[in-house]
């Protein structure tokens, strides 16, 4: 079933709805959807309904809405603080984060970040990442669109880490593993901050600042992972232990 997103506050109550302008070509020309085809329509905030194509034209696709669809959201709210990565790596990180149930993505400029957006390119870069979020959410049938914030300077992120359980995978941590931490009960708030470092790793001052801000340093095992691999691996472990990837159908 193909997923589409619309901007509305009334998805729960309306009987018919038209697809957004940016979806018309894909729905009519690429997917060649026709009257009677089944689709799903979501509002990007967690609600989704079954639908049937009532009209499919080049400049207008109308959907007759039916039953609500069950939510695909984890009760664990993970905020991914991701050190800026260059090129397609950031695209991959965002796509995988959405598919794995991350609630929010915050790009962070660290001392060793290779990629640094200029003010003139920031808007275009964010628009691209938001498009990837939309595509990934539709692919995994997720009705919520995780926001991607503008890049934060490292120091401006630190106050945010004190508000919830904060974990920092770091190759310099030799004793405490993420797996060990995840044997503990899930946070009462069901909120977790995950801070992933850049390709060159955190410098000593950054790690010190993170720890002083309440973050807990952990390691992901004996191998050094690329930043895009570390992000996915850490989210999977967290969701499997505290979230909805345990195979039991609900959060722990």
Tens of pLDDT, residues 176-219? 999 999 999 999 999 999 999 998 889 999 999 999 999 999 99
- Has domain 2-68 been given CATH number 2.40.240.20? yes
- Per residue in 209-247, pLDDT (tens digit) is 999 999 999 999 999 999 999 999 999 999 999 999 977
Where does 77-242 sit in CATH, by number?
Answer: 3.40.1280.10
**Is pLDDT of 249 > 60?**
no
The model carries a pTM of 0.91
Kindly give, in sequence order, each residue whose CB lies less than 8 Å from that of residue 30, ignoring residues fewer than 6 positions away.
none
Domain with CATH 3.40.1280.10 in the chain: 77-242
Q: Return the closest-CA partner of residue 218 out of 187, 177, 184.
A: 177
- Number of Cβ within 10 Å of residue 26's Cβ equals 15
- Per residue in 110-141, pLDDT (tens digit) is 988 776 676 677 788 899 999 999 999 999 99
Pure H helices in the chain: 21-25, 88-99, 119-139, 154-157, 178-181, 204-212, 227-242
Q: Is the dihedral of CA 56, 57, 61, 63 positive or negative?
A: negative
Q: How many CA atoms lie within 13 A of 104 on its CB side?
A: 13
Domain with CATH 2.40.240.20 in the chain: 2-68
CA triple 109-112-118, angle to 5 deg: 45
- Per residue in 157-173, pLDDT (tens digit) is 998 887 789 999 999 99
């Amino acid at each position: 079933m193909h997923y589409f997103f619309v901007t509305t506050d009334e998805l729960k109550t309306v009987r018919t709805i038209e697809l957004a302008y940016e979806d018309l070509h894909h729905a009519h020309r690429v997917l060649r959807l026709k009257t009677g085809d089944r689709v799903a329509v979501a509002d990007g905030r967690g609600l989704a309904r079954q639908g049937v194509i009532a009209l499919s034209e080049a400049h207008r696709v109308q959907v007759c809405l039916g039953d609500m669809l069950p939510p695909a959201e984890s009760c664990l709210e993970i905020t991914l603080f991701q050190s800026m990565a260059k090129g397609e790596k950031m695209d991959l990180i965002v796509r995988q984060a959405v598919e794995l149930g991350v609630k929010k993505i915050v790009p962070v400029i660290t001392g060793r970040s290779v990629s640094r957006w200029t003010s003139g390119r920031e808007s275009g870069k964010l628009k691209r990442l938001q498009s990837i979020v939309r595509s990934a959410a539709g692919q995994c049938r997720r009705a919520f669109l995780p926001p991607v914030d503008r890049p934060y300077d490292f120091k401006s992120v630190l106050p945010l880490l004190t508000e919830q359980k904060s974990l920092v995978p770091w190759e310099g941590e030799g004793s405490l593993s993420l797996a060990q931490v995840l044997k503990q009960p899930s946070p009462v708030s069901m909120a977790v901050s995950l801070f992933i470092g850049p390709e060159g790793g955190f410098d000593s001052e950054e790690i010190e600042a993170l720890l002083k801000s309440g973050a807990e340093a952990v390691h992901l095992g004996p191998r050094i992972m690329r930043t895009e691999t570390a992000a996915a691996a850490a989210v999977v472990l967290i969701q499997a232990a505290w979230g909805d990837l345990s195979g039991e159908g609900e959060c722990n």
